[in-house]
Amino acid sequence: MRIKIFKKIKNLFGTFMKASSSKKILEDLSEEQKNFGSRIFVLAIGRVLKRAYAELDGKNKENMERVFMSDDDKAKEKFVKEYIPNFSKFFEEEAKKVQEEILAEMVKQSNPKQA
Complete DSSP assignment for 79-90:
HHHHH-TTHHHH
Instruction: Tell me if 84 sits within 8 A of 52, measured CB to CB.
Output: yes
- pLDDT tens, 9-25? 555 555 555 555 554 55
Average pLDDT, the chain: 78
What pLDDT is stored for residue 7 in this prediction?
52
pLDDT at 110: 79
Domain map of the chain by residue range?
2-114
For residue 22, what is the DSSP state? Answer: S
| Per-residue pLDDT tens over the stretch 51-65 | 999 999 999 999 999
Give pTM, 2 decimals: 0.64
Residue 2 pLDDT level (bands cut at 50, 70, 90) = very low
d(CA 47, CA 45): 5
| pLDDT band, very low/low/confident/very high, at 27 (cuts 50, 70, 90) | low
